[in-house]
């Protein structure tokens, strides 16, 4: 062993950029990475929301910067990375937490509207691709290796009979790119993994979870019989962002209370 086991999940001196760090999952991950010792850049389009999360991370004792950027714009992605490098001097981790919207775009597969397809695929896939490209260029230049962590969904591998075509296509592509990027970037010691949750109790899905029928149906499919909390993602996020996963790449880890085990 080259380091004490207790330190294997620590991120002291590491710099993380969270695209979508102001969101339900991204903000929780920002606090977790900060608590593990990382400095954290929080990126989103709304300045106040990003700054509120950065302030919480700072109050808890870590360095944090809010960056206003639209990750569907490649020039803004480059600026988002440049602002992070200017502030912290390096970039070690990109966590892609922009996405979602599945429940706002439910259409029969044979009639899926093109504009809605583009909206959902841009929100989930294009955002991940463009933020990652900008971040990985900086990691390659930094020559210290790196970590890419994508947020997929159980819908990246499971179909559902309720109009999710664009979302499953985008998350399935994220799973495929996780493997492809892992293969291409291994030579730079950059690992690429994804977590794939089912519903996590966050504002984006609050109205669905408030519907007792929907929730009862959901719970009947989850062996652990509860909805996930953002805290349930913490262990996997620390694993994939730290030295603990130095030999793990190209993997998609379902975090779903056993849902996919039953399919
Ligand atoms: N919540 C769940 O139950 C669940 C389950 C499985 C998978 N997931 C996945 O987890 C990820 C995060 O979900 P969430 O529930 O945390 O969503 P969320 O609360 O809506 O957060 C998304 C964040 O992304 C930012 N964002 C959106 N478009 C952006 C853009 N073009 N450029 C920069 N930032 C942008 C938003 O901030 P601004 O609006 O300020 O830009 C927001 O902070 C998604 O990929 C989702 O599919 C979620």
Buried b (16+ CB within 10 A) or exposed e, 50-80: bbebbebbeeeebbbbbbbbebbeeebbbbb
The whole-chain average pLDDT of the chain stands at 97
Work out the number of other CB atoms within 10 angstroms of the CB of residue 160.
Answer: 11
Please identify, by atom number, the ligand 1 atom nearest to the C-alpha of residue 49. 40
Residue 65 resides in a domain: yes
> How confident is the model over 207-247, as pLDDT tens digits?
999 999 999 999 999 999 999 999 999 999 999 999 999 99
Ligand 1 first shell, C-beta below 6 A: 20, 22-26, 43-46, 49, 69-72, 97-100, 123-124, 127, 151, 153, 197, 199-200, 202-205
pLDDT of 5 over the 80 cut: no
Question: How many angstroms does the Cα of residue 97 sit away from the middle of ligand 1?
Answer: 5
CA-44 nearest atom, ligand 1: 34
Give me the pLDDT at residue 119, please.
98
Q: Which domain holds residue 80?
A: 5-254
User: Which amino acid residue places its CA nearest to atom 43 of ligand 1?
Assistant: 23
In the predicted model, is pLDDT for residue 2 greater than 80?
Answer: no
pLDDT at 6 over 90: no
Active-site pick, 107, 167, 188, 247: 167
Q: Note whether residue 41 is domain-resident.
A: yes
Read off the CATH number of the domain in which 48 is found.
3.40.50.720
pLDDT at 4: 75
230 domain-assigned: yes
Could you tell me the pLDDT band of residue 152, with boundaries at 50, 70 and 90? very high
Percent share of the chain, pLDDT over 90: 97
Average pLDDT over residues 104-130: 98
Instruction: Give the residue whose CA is nearest to atom 27 of ligand 1.
Output: 98
d(CA 157, CA 134): 27
Distance 127 CA to ligand 1 centre (A): 10
In a domain? residue 233: yes
CA-based angle 129:133:138, to the nearest 5? 155
CA dist 112 and 135 (Å) reads: 33
Residue 176: pLDDT above 70? yes
pLDDT of residue 201: 97
Looking at the chain, which runs of residues are DSSP E strands? 15-19, 39-44, 64-68, 93-96, 146-151, 190-197, 252-255
Residue 34's φ and ψ, nearest 5 degrees, are -60, -45
What does 125-190 look like in DSSP terms, one character per residue? IIHHHHHHHHHHHHHHHHTS-EEEEEE--GGGT---TTT-HHHHHHHHHHHHHHHHHHHHHGGGTE
Task: For residue 259, tell me if it sits in a domain.
Answer: no
Domain count of the fold of the chain: 1
For the cut 80, the answer to whether the pLDDT of residue 1 exceeds it is: no
Contact (CB, 8 A) for 44 and 68: yes
Which of 17, 18, 19, 20 maximizes ligand 1 atoms within 8 Å of its Cβ, making it the mutation to test the pocket? 20
167 is catalytic: yes
Residue 260 lies in a domain: no
DSSP state of 69: -
Residue 262 lies inside a defined structural domain of this protein? no
Q: What is the pLDDT of residues 40-99, one digit of tens each?
A: 999 999 999 999 999 999 999 999 999 999 999 999 999 999 999 999 999 999 999 999
Residue 73: how many CA atoms within 13 Å on its side-chain side?
Answer: 10
Q: Is residue 17 part of a domain?
A: yes
């Amino acid at each position: 062993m080259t380091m004490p086991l207790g330190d294997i999940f620590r991120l002291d001196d590491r710099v993380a950029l969270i695209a979508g760090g102001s969101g339900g999952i991204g903000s929780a991950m920002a606090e977790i990475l900060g608590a593990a010792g990382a400095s954290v850049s929080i990126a989103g389009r709304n300045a106040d929301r990003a700054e509120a999360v950065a302030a919480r991370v700072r109050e808890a004792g870590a360095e944090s910067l809010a960056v206003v950027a639209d990750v569907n714009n490649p020039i803004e992605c480059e600026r988002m990375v440049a602002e992070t490098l200017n502030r912290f001097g390096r970039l070690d981790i990109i966590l892609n937490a922009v996405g979602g919207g599945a429940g706002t775009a439910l259409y029969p597969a044979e009639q899926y509207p093109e504009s809605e397809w583009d909206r959902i695929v841009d929100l989930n896939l294009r955002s991940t691709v463009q933020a990652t490209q900008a971040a990985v260029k900086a990691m390659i230049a930094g020559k210290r290796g790196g970590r890419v962590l994508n947020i997929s969904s159980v819908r990246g591998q499971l179909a559902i009979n309720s109009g999710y075509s664009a979302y499953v296509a985008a998350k399935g592509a994220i799973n495929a790119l996780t493997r492809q990027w892992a293969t291409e970037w291994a030579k730079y010691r950059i690992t690429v993994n994804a977590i794939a949750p089912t519903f996590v109790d966050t504002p984006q899905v609050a109205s669905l979870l408030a519907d007792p029928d929907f929730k009862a149906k959901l719970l009947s499919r989850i062996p652990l019989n509860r909805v996930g909390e953002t805290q349930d993602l913490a262990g996997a996020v620390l694993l994939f962002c730290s030295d603990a996963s130095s030999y793990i790449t190209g993997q998609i880890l379902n975090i779903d209370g056993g849902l996919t085990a039953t399919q």
